[in-house]
Structure 1
Amino acid sequence: MPRNKKSLIQEKTQELRTLCEVEMVFINYSPYSDEPKVFPNHGGKIKTFQNFKELAMSEISKNMVTRDEFTEERIKKLEKNLLKIKKENRVKEITNEMHEVLNGKTIS
């Protein structure tokens, strides 16, 4: 991996760790290298995986969702947004019709 790309990956990984206040490791396997590139370092990788393994199953799965659950939630959110847009459009239609009536146009 070219040096500048590696530095960018390390920088972005560090930003995510800091901004999201999460413990994370970046592991990059390359066909050009026998060993994977690990950031922050091999010891950090081991510590992160050990911490993850020590978490209770309820803590691990707390924020996990299945694809079906994600899809259902997404559909509900989109339906809610669609309903909101329909209401907004109806108000705009009525407002336009009222302006047309005030300007003397007859509406069926």
Structure 2
Amino acid sequence: MTRKKVKLAYIANDSARKATYKKRKRGLMKKVSELSTLCGIEACAIIFGPYDSQPELWPSSSGVEHILSRFKKMPEMEQSKNMVNQEKFLRQRIAKTNEQLKKMRKDNREKEITRLMFQSLTAAKGLHGLNMLDLNDLGWVIDQKLKDIAIRIESLKKPSMQLQLRSQPQPPPPSQPSQTQPQSAAWLMELESPQDQMRFVGDDMLLPFGDQTYNYDNAMWSNAFFP
């Protein structure tokens, strides 16, 4: 059986208020003790009540004095950094609740407009009775859905493109010329390259290497190879 939620308000009945005070006081002291033991921190509690002649202290009078002295040695900004009173605490709770309410209203509005969009697509409901605010919200929801679809399509395309690139045969690496190739063969390849289609030596023009129309009686040829 679930516990009934207690309304946070002043208890008008004296006997009920006294019983609640004793019960909550024991619970508070237990929580402070557990917090100090489990987290290894220094904590203390001071409770002034109308039903006790002396204030309730935890863990002891000397322990409370030690912690309070450490607290007073801190700078004033550090002392009040996380300190709240009842009014400030309630204001923080109200602000947090308002933010949650605003978020829930936005989510509900988006779900409502999305449902209206699907109804209009299935011709279950027309758009004639909508006002300008509803139409603007509907346009915004449609734009968001289109953007989500485009992002989804792009994410589905990437794995298939990568798979196609992997399946394509890779071209062989370019062959490097052998470092041990003889100098005569390299000289022959250099002469046969397209860059050496025409050579000039002095004032005479040499035709490509191996040309059958070359004049072997040329003095430069005979002097170079047949001394």
- TM tier relative to shorter chain: 0.5 to 0.7
Q: Distance in 1 between matches of 2:32 and 2:84?
A: 24
Which of 57, 62, 71 is residue 91 of structure 2 equivalent to?
A: 71
State the number of aligned residues: 105
* Cα shift at 1:12: 1.6
**Gaps in structure 1 of 5+ consecutive residues:** none
Q: Distance in 2 between matches of 1:28 and 1:64?
A: 17
Q: Whose helix proportion is higher, 1 or 2?
A: 1
Look up the match of 1:24: 43
Which of 47, 53, 68 is residue 66 of structure 2 equivalent to?
A: 47
Amino acid paired to 2:104: I
* Greater shift in the superposed pair: 24-33 or 39-48: 24-33
Q: Secondary structure at the match of 2:57?
A: strand
CA, structure 1 residues 85+59, in 2 after alignment: closer, same or farther (shift >3 Å)? same
Deviations 1:7-61 (CA, angstroms, capped at 9, x unpaired): 6443222123345665322223455654333211111011011111111112112
CA, structure 1 residues 64+27, in 2 after alignment: closer, same or farther (shift >3 Å)? closer
Q: Secondary structure at the match of 1:38?
A: strand
Q: Distance in 2 between matches of 1:89 and 1:78?
A: 15
* Cα shift at 1:72: 7.6
Task: Please state if 1:13 is matched with 2:29.
Answer: no
CA, structure 1 residues 62+28, in 2 after alignment: closer, same or farther (shift >3 Å)? closer
Give the TM-score normalised by structure 1. Answer: 0.63
**Gaps in structure 2 of 5+ consecutive residues:** 1-21, 129-227
Amino acid paired to 1:55: M
* Cα shift at 1:87: 2.9
Give the share of equivalent positions with the same residue, in percent: 34
